[in-house]
Amino acid sequence: MINIFEVAETNEMIEKENLDVRTITLGISLLDCIDADLKMVNEKIYQKIYEAAKDLVATGDYISDEYGIPIVNKRISVTPIALVGGAACKAPEDFVSIAQTLDKVAHEVGVNFIGGYSALVSKGMTKADEMLIRSIPKALAATERVCSSVNVGSTKTGINMDAVKLMGEVILQTAEATKTEDSLGCAKLVVFCNAPDDNPFMAGAFHGVTEADKVINVGVSGPGVVKTALEKVRGENFEVLCETIKKTAFKVTRVGQLVAKEASKCLNVPFGIVDLSLAPTPAIGDSVADILCEIGLEQVGAPGTTAALALLNDQVKKGGVMASSYVGGLSGAFIPVSEDQGMIDAVTAGALTLEKLEAMTCVCSVGLDMIAIPGDTKATTISGIIADEMAIGMINQKTTAVRLIPVIGKGIGETVEFGGLLGYAPIMPVNSYACDAFVNRGGRIPAPIHSFKN
């Protein structure tokens, strides 16, 4: 039987170490909402999502009360809208109307984000894909809760450089369209390579076409729990360090598995996956950077950072995999800058640069995330950064992503405040040498060879 110390340990994790379930995300297929008539598409989308998700928030709160574990977010992901709206939308504005429908139903059912305003263009773009991508700035400016993502490359197909070029422009336009809110729109826009179909985390969540009609995916979190566990093994060797991370990750993930199963039962929706992630928040003690410092770095960015992150990421997966019957999504340690106080401190101290962050993304989930850059950064430079990150994903057969925020009207050294879970960020310098001739070539980077792994 459970003993008092185990009970105390769990409650300590929840109360003092910020253990929580970061999100219950309900994936909903909208493929059956396809229609040639735009009005009908919007109506069908609204109805389908409303019917599927009307009890989502209440169920989440109910489970949260029963187990005494905070469930921070309840969210929805839908089929990439470029597929759903393709038959009806004749102009980018038509797609914006679908974004508004998504926003309306998100408000109605009470979820804080709805993801899937997306296009999957890793090899080529259909007319609908391109229209959706071009509509992103307006869609994100006209809505509050809609999140957008574009998959521009994969290990199987290579990188669609036309899409990479376009996304550089779209990110800048989104920044411009939302400049009154410090270019907040860009915080809801992710560019992916090897995007997973079952990711529960925003802003990159969408309900892939390989998924069932509806599915429950859960994202766990617990950087504070890992940090506290590691405090107890200071000075011990790597074996002890890794074992401690694994055991902690196991415990954290078990909570996610429990919540996912309960939510699945309550909502009568199949359980999809648990995303084994260490997702930080700006709250003190909820930082992945702090774990890296606890492992032995003075600041994140110091030599050793990539190795420390690699072992952390790997142990989290090793511990978490056994704790859940199905694992998926982005599983790993997230390193968003603005959402992690330790990362913010490292950037402010000058210890952490964009280039080091790029190196770190080679060994962890997910990519260059929530990084504020000067508003006058050129579109081609943004495309160059995207291309670099996509190349890492393509070659290493992993998911990588870019969520950059060029803050219009602000420059290096200034700070931007996004509020809430999105946090705040110092604006980071970007290499000022141009890559226009590279980005403007057009076409695709071919898929990589899968042998000769050197």
For residue 174, what are its two tokens? Answer: 């989104």
Among 5-13, 215-223, 399-407, 440-448, the segment contacting other proteins (CB under 8 A): 5-13
**Identified binder of other proteins from the candidate list 106, 258, 309, 363, rule CB under 8 A:** 258
Six-digit token string for 295: 């492992």
Tokens of 298: 């003075």
**Sign of the torsion angle spanned by Cα atoms 195, 200, 201, 207:** positive
Contact status, residue 410 vs residue 427, Cβ threshold 8 Å: yes
Give the separation between CA 38 and CA 40, rounded to whole angstroms.
5
For tokens 């773009």, what's the residue?
A: 125
Binding residues with other proteins: total (CB under 8 A): 27
Candidates 107, 123, 254, 356: give the one binding other proteins (CB under 8 A).
254
Taking a C-beta distance cutoff of 8 angstroms, is the pair 109, 56 a contact? yes
Q: Which is nearer to other proteins, 45 or 255 (CB)?
A: 255
Using CB under 8 A as the binding rule, whether residue 265 contacts other proteins is answered as yes
Q: Which of 18, 23, 59, 149 binds other proteins (CB under 8 A)?
A: 59
Dihedral, CA of residue 361, residue 424, residue 20 and residue 251, to nearest 10: 30
Answer yes or no whether residue 7 interacts with other proteins by CB under 8 A: yes
Least distance from other proteins to the Cβ atom of residue 110, Å: 14
Contacting residue, 35, 43, 55, 243, with other proteins by CB under 8 A:
55
218, 24 contact by CB (below 8 A)? yes
Tokens 């999100």 found at: 23
Nearer to other proteins, 57 or 164 (CB): 57
- Shortest distance (Å) from residue 21 CB to other proteins: 11
- Around Cβ 303, how many Cβ atoms within 10 Å? 8
Q: Which three-class secondary structure string do you get for 257-272?
A: HHHHHHHHHHHCCCEE
Alpha helices (H) in 324-445, listed in sequence order: 341-349, 354-361, 379-396, 436-439
Let me know if 432 is exposed, middle or buried by CB neighbors in 10 A (0-12, 13-18, 19+): exposed
Least Å distance between CB 68 and other proteins? 4
Options 148-156, 257-265, 325-333, 334-342: segment touching other proteins (CB under 8 A) = 257-265
Binding residue (CB under 8 A) for other proteins from 32, 51, 65, 355: 65
Specify the residue, 266 or 302, whose C-beta has the smaller distance to other proteins: 266
Q: Give the H or E element holding residue 156.
A: none
Is the Cβ of residue 262 or residue 286 nearer to other proteins in the bound state?
262
62 binds other proteins (CB under 8 A): yes
Q: Does 2 bind other proteins (CB under 8 A)?
A: yes
Choose, by CB under 8 A, the member of 20, 198, 262, 286 that binds other proteins: 262
Binding of other proteins by 437 (CB under 8 A): no
Our finding on whether 11 is near other proteins (CB under 8 A) is yes
**Residue 434 engages other proteins in binding (rule: CB under 8 A):** no
What residue type is assigned to position 87 of the chain?
A
Q: Out of 75, 188, 227, 251, which residue is the one contacting other proteins (CB under 8 A)?
A: 251
Q: Which residues pair with 159 in a beta bridge?
A: 153, 445
Nearest distance, CB of residue 256 and other proteins, angstroms: 10
Q: Pick the closer one to other proteins by CB: 66 or 108.
A: 66
Nearer to other proteins, 44 or 251 (CB): 251
By CB under 8 A, residue 255 contacts other proteins: yes
6 binds other proteins (CB under 8 A): yes
CA distance 287 to 18: 10
Q: Is 266 in the site for other proteins (CB under 8 A)?
A: yes
Of 2 and 437, the one with the shorter C-beta distance to other proteins is 2
CB of 318 to other proteins, least distance (A): 15
Q: Which is nearer to other proteins, 254 or 356 (by Cβ)?
A: 254
- Please choose, from the candidates 108, 335, 366, 79, the residue with its C-alpha nearest in 3D space to the C-alpha of residue 223: 335
Residue closest to 273 by CA, chosen among 223, 210, 335? 210
Residue partners of 30: CB distance under 8 A and separation at least 6: 44, 45, 48, 49, 78, 79, 81, 84, 116, 207
Rounded-to-integer distance, Cα 212 and Cα 444, Å: 31
Contact 186, 377 (CB under 8 A): no
The least CB distance from residue 59 to other proteins, in Å, is 7
From 41, 45, 69, 141, residue interacting with other proteins (rule: CB under 8 A): 69
Interface residue with other proteins among 32, 66, 108, 231 (CB under 8 A) is: 66
Residues that bind other proteins (CB under 8 A): 1-4, 6-11, 55, 58-59, 62, 65-69, 251, 254-255, 257-258, 262, 265-266
